[in-house]
Structure 1
Amino acid sequence: MENKFPCASWLPVICQNPTTVPTTWQELCGNFDDINFGGQVPIKGKIAIPKSKLWTVLLSTFIVAVSTIGLRYLGVFEKIELQTFDQILRLRPKEDPDPRLIIVEITEKDIQSRQETRLGLKSISDSTLATLLKQLQKYQPRIIGIDIYRDFADPPNKLQTIKLSTENSKENVVVTCKSRDSKYDSQGVKPPKEVPVERQGFADAIEDPDGIVRRQIMMMAQEPSSTCTTPYSLSLQLAARYLSYENIQPRFNEDYIQFGSKVFKRLKAGRSGGYQQKVDLGGNQILVNYRNTDYQRVSLEDILSNKVAPDLFKDKVVIIGVTANTVSDTWSTPYSTAQQDYQEIPGVFIQAQMVSQVLSAVLDKRPILWVLPWWGDILWIYGWSIVGSLIVWRVRSLSDKGCAIFVTVVILYGVCAIALLKQGLWIPFIPSAFGVVASSVVVIFIQNRRQFSTTSQSLVE
């Protein structure tokens, strides 16, 4: 070569494995968009990737995202989405008890120590409940909620001077009933007949398919044959009556309930957050924003024995309920699975959580749990699928691609956790993470296939 090209032997030599793709002048040009030497045709740098390659990535990502959204719509991710929702909620630090609520619990000891004549499966007799209400009224609570069914009156007792019907007639007493449901409960539980419907609230609880209570029904239309006719839940009745003393009146709408500036939007049937096709979201349902704490409580015996401070109940919401083990009124919460021994809590504590979340949101600006509209979830899943595929597309080595996928999923989880804990927004993590991983794997497959095809062609030439 020295005869034709003097000093050619002085030029640098590139030693390259014959199985690798030969380098090109465009790659050696680096990141320059346009290089013009002596008026020659401009040469594109690495940033100007051929459009066909980019469109291949975008098209494959679109197909993956649509498939992910379809699987989510069919309920494939529902169980794991709900479990992730619980796990993020458990990241919340311990909170202080709500000072506006106090629970009067009827313990197993209270039941066993009172051998009284009562009709039906009652924890305590009507006379004992009447005495309890009479005593509580002396402490001037703002509102009293009775989370105990009283569908049948006990036989008359002439020796009992305090009548339950008289105590139930007080304006700050709200009683409970249970809706009749032709599918789940054909009977229902009727309220005490002496209490008008304005002071009744249904205590129906709803479990998710995994047996955990994550939602509360604030309002619903009753079946015509139901003996429980109130459209309002017990928790809503108690919260609304408490807030009325603060001059905050509720506004009811088909899609939301509003207290002042706070709006509780209902979960839309069909597609709301992780709930898709298999969950009934009828009525006005919202997510329960559990407070990671216990509630102040006193026993029936302590009140009847005058062992409590008189100002303990003043201007508070008092909820009376049963916590005895022999009464099957226990429920699972997102915190049940985190305990060493799986533990359910009595229904009266669920009612307290539901009342507290309304009061805390309105008076303390505590976040209300909400979800994006269905199209917002679609854009979120598709957006993160695009992000994952583009990052992997730009990274060269396979190990770096794996690290990029892992870091992207971790960042996604952090964003979802911050949104839920700080703003109350439940955004889909599981389908988004699935979209990131699936779209990234597809891009890696496309790149490897193209590289293999180019290498094979070079060897043939």
Structure 2
Amino acid sequence: MGKMNHRRWERIRDEIAIWRIGALPGLLVIGLVVLLRLMGTLQFSEWWMLDFFLRSRPPEPTDERILIVGINEADIQANGHPISDETLAELIEALQIYEPRVIGLDIVRDLPVEPGHDRLNQVFQSPNIIGIEALPNANGNAVSPPPGLPPEQIGFADVFSDADGALRRSLLDIALFETESNEAESKFSLALLLAEAYLNQEGIYLDNGIRDPDAMRFGSAEIPQLRPNSGGYVNADTDGNQTLIHYRSGDLPFRQVSMADILSGNVPEDWIRDRIILIGSTAISLGDLKLAPALANNDNAGLTYGVKIHAHITSQIISAVLDDRPLLRTWANGWDYVWIIAWGLLGILLSRVLASPFKTLLALGIASALLFIICVAALMAGWWLPIVPALGVLILNSAGLTAALFYRHQQDLQAKIHDRQSVIEQTFDAIHNGPLQTLAGIMRNCSEESYSRDQLYAELQTLNHELRTVYDAIRQETLTPNGHFYLCNGEQLDLQHPTHELLHAVYRATLNRPFPSFEHLKVKVVSFQFIDVRILSTDQKRGLCRFLEEALCNAGKYARDMTRLEVSCKPQPGKILIRIADNGKGLPHTTSSFSGRGSHQATMLAKQLNGSFHRLPNSPQGTLCELTYPIAKPWFG
């Protein structure tokens, strides 16, 4: 039970360590995206996504409650510019015949345009006509309303663009202070007054909001107010009562006719009777164009006449009241960031739980699609959700950590390949320096007539023992944490011991092996001095042991009639020298025996140590093997 609890706590600690290392970058990504949003860096991308979603909605039915009477290029050519008061009066009189519910005049008429000024003032006596004015700008300049209209029939036509020049919000009312009396005077927009006039005849009146007392309300439809940090906005100028424009989708949101159509009587009566009539410019030459990317299509880049903008704002109000069409609203600012953080944490979770990079990328695609679906569905219900920062933290945390997983996977794969290759090489080295050496001796002795069955049997027993010890030796070398070197006789050397002691132990063990050339040795010159003036890894120490073992085995096998063997391991100025020299009649130094596995081992070891290896003839007879390597490892090594 205690072991189970111990293992469970170990797994918990490991998991905490993984999350501490893996989740910290993800949390930093979330913090960075939140900071960028707070600084307003993501505003433009969030506005772009809002426009994109609004453009991508299915088309809505034409709002037949609104008729736009556009004064186009043909009307200007026929009647001149500006349109005279008499022509304008004639147009309004022609419309009044069919009893529209309200007429909005989106044309500046602060000064008389003769002829017909008196006639136009007489027309303005009708209570269902609403004219426009322009609010004071930064320089204090304003455009006065038509003098013939009473103040309650005047609405401002001003619209406020975002930093990219696009219209996404409308100003419904604003309080202006008189400089002399310091009293506030409320001004209402043309669109709001048109909607109010229409809804009043439905028995629905303008009132204060219930959820937000500062908001406006018609019946149960409360118009949400835009705040400085609503949705994708950051520190926006939201003076007055502003709301997001929920543009009507489709190629024909409203019916539209020309002034000539009205004057010639070519418009069906039911298009006018009891409708909202908006009169304004639809001529490019008059320049009343606004940028509304949410309305962009193949025919335009979002440039829309001002009279159509007023129609969309009016339509969204009366549609919300009478048709339950949602108005655009946003979450309270704090909930936006809860949403963003939640998607960022999901990205971290995907990378950790799935672990596989391919599964994580698949899950990321599904999660991103789900995020899009949620945001589109929310917009259809009237909610503008922050998709850009949410998608950003999701992708960065999933794909970023996935890239790390890809790298880790690749590194793990390379490490496994390296480990397997290392095991293969260690196995071959162990066989080469042990059983293969014994086998070579058996094969050589078998050609001699004096070689007895008992000798063959004894050497085969030795070979059998060496083969059986290879597995244990390799297994221990690859699994033992501190590192050991295993000789063919089963002796174990701890690689933490000084290097000269290890080499001396290899020397003693190898000379005890039954190689024929060792039988006639008369002189052994041996010197193993302290050489640990340079720190070596366990693998490098193991390599030195194998090098000495292999060199001694070669001498024992091939140095026939050898009577003298010199083995030295000592420091010299700036380098370490390991030298094995014999005086036997060995094989010619150009044969393959001297360029086989042993030479390859020595050459690779010398390269690792930034040293050199040489196998040369010894004068006057024999073979000399030398391995040297520098005491101080070069800084570029």
Asked whether the two chains share a fold, i.e. TM above 0.5, the reply is yes
Shift of 1:45: 9.8
Q: Of 301, 308, 312, which residue of structure 2 is paired with 1:353?
A: 312
Q: Tell me if structure 2 keeps the 8 A contact 1:217–1:284.
A: yes
Task: Write 1 or 2 for the structure with the bigger share of strand.
Answer: 2
Q: Of 204, 213, 220, which residue of structure 1 is paired with 2:174?
A: 220
Which 10-residue stretch deviates more, 194-203 or 217-226? 217-226
Deviations 1:384-425 (A, max 9, x none): 11111111111122222222223222221221111112x111
Shift of 1:65: 1.8
**Which residue does the alignment assign to 1:425?**
383
Shift of 1:110: 1.1
Q: Tell me if structure 1 keeps the 8 A contact 2:224–2:327.
A: no
Q: Of 298, 301, 306, which residue of structure 2 is paired with 1:342?
A: 301
1:193-342 superposed matches below 5 A: 193-222=147-176, 224=178, 231-252=187-208, 255-269=214-228, 271-277=229-235, 279-293=236-250, 294=252, 295-339=254-298, 341-342=300-301
Q: Of 9, 33, 44, which residue of structure 2 is paired with 1:68?
A: 33
**Which residue does the alignment assign to 2:619?**
none
Separation of aligned partners in 2, 1:459 and 1:369 = 68
Q: Tell me if structure 2 keeps the 8 A contact 1:197–1:229.
A: no
Separation of aligned partners in 2, 1:340 and 1:68 = 36
**Which residue does the alignment assign to 2:91?**
132
**Which residue does the alignment assign to 1:164?**
120
1:159-198 superposed matches below 5 A: 160=116, 163-182=119-138, 186-198=140-152
1:111-122 superposed matches below 5 A: 111-115=76-80
Which 10-residue stretch deviates more, 339-348 or 57-66? 57-66
SS state of the match for residue 54, structure 1?
A: helix
SS state of the match for residue 365, structure 1?
A: coil
Residue 398 (1) aligns with residue 363 (2): no
Residue 408 (1) aligns with residue 362 (2): no
Separation of aligned partners in 1, 2:200 and 2:357 = 63
Shift of 1:96: 1.3
Separation of aligned partners in 1, 2:9 and 2:350 = 19
Separation of aligned partners in 1, 2:222 and 2:316 = 13
**Which residue does the alignment assign to 1:123?**
82
**Which residue does the alignment assign to 2:113?**
154
Separation of aligned partners in 2, 1:167 and 1:232 = 22
Residue 438 (1) aligns with residue 396 (2): yes
Residue 100 (1) aligns with residue 55 (2): no
Q: Tell me if structure 2 keeps the 8 A contact 1:393–1:444.
A: no
Letter paired with 1:165: N
Letter paired with 1:81: E
Q: Give the number of aligned pairs.
A: 408
Q: Tell me if structure 2 keeps the 8 A contact 1:134–1:167.
A: yes
Deviations 1:245-302 (A, max 9, x none): 1111111366311111111111111x1111113x322221111111113211222112
Which 10-residue stretch deviates more, 434-443 or 134-143? 434-443
Q: 1:161 to 1:420 in 2, by over 3 A?
A: closer
For normalisation by structure 1, the TM-score amounts to: 0.81
SS state of the match for residue 418, structure 1?
A: helix
Q: Tell me if structure 1 keeps the 8 A contact 2:99–2:272.
A: yes
SS state of the match for residue 331, structure 1?
A: strand
Shift of 1:229: 6.4
SS state of the match for residue 44, structure 1?
A: helix
Q: 1:80 to 1:235 in 2, by over 3 A?
A: same
Separation of aligned partners in 1, 2:104 and 2:329 = 27
Deviations 1:62-87 (A, max 9, x none): 33222211101111111111111111
For normalisation by structure 2, the TM-score amounts to: 0.59
SS state of the match for residue 426, structure 1?
A: coil
Structure 1: tracts of 5 or more residues without a match: 1-35, 116-121
Q: Identity across aligned pairs (percent)? A: 32
Structure 2: tracts of 5 or more residues without a match: 420-478, 483-637
Q: Tell me if structure 1 keeps the 8 A contact 2:103–2:130.
A: yes
Higher RCO (C-alpha 8 Å, min separation 6)? 1
Which 10-residue stretch deviates more, 324-333 or 57-66? 57-66
Q: 1:229 to 1:124 in 2, by over 3 A?
A: farther
**Which residue does the alignment assign to 1:27?**
none
SS state of the match for residue 69, structure 2?
A: strand
Letter paired with 1:286: T
Decide which structure has the larger Cα Rg and report it.
Answer: 2
Q: CA RMSD in A?
A: 3.0
Q: 1:280 to 1:436 in 2, by over 3 A?
A: same
Letter paired with 1:50: E
SS state of the match for residue 64, structure 1?
A: helix
Separation of aligned partners in 2, 1:309 and 1:342 = 32
Deviations 1:128-162 (A, max 9, x none): 1111112211111111110001110134x4xx597
Separation of aligned partners in 2, 1:40 and 1:311 = 87
Residue 88 (1) aligns with residue 46 (2): no
Q: Tell me if structure 2 keeps the 8 A contact 1:381–1:435.
A: yes
Q: Tell me if structure 1 keeps the 8 A contact 2:364–2:399.
A: no
Separation of aligned partners in 2, 1:142 and 1:284 = 26
Deviations 1:340-367 (A, max 9, x none): 5535221111111110011111100111
Separation of aligned partners in 2, 1:181 and 1:137 = 34
Which 10-residue stretch deviates more, 314-323 or 41-50? 41-50
Residue 44 (1) aligns with residue 11 (2): no
Letter paired with 1:401: T
SS state of the match for residue 301, structure 2?
A: coil
Separation of aligned partners in 2, 1:388 and 1:247 = 52
Separation of aligned partners in 1, 2:185 and 2:125 = 18
Separation of aligned partners in 2, 1:235 and 1:148 = 14
Q: 1:161 to 1:355 in 2, by over 3 A?
A: closer
Letter paired with 1:426: W
Query: 4+ residue stretches of structure 1 with deviation over 6 A?
Result: 445-453
Separation of aligned partners in 1, 2:268 and 2:202 = 25
Separation of aligned partners in 1, 2:407 and 2:94 = 80
**Which residue does the alignment assign to 2:596?**
none
**Which residue does the alignment assign to 2:101?**
142
Separation of aligned partners in 1, 2:24 and 2:392 = 17
Separation of aligned partners in 2, 1:55 and 1:368 = 44
Q: Tell me if structure 1 keeps the 8 A contact 2:65–2:275.
A: yes
Task: Write 1 or 2 for the structure with the bigger share of helix.
Answer: 2
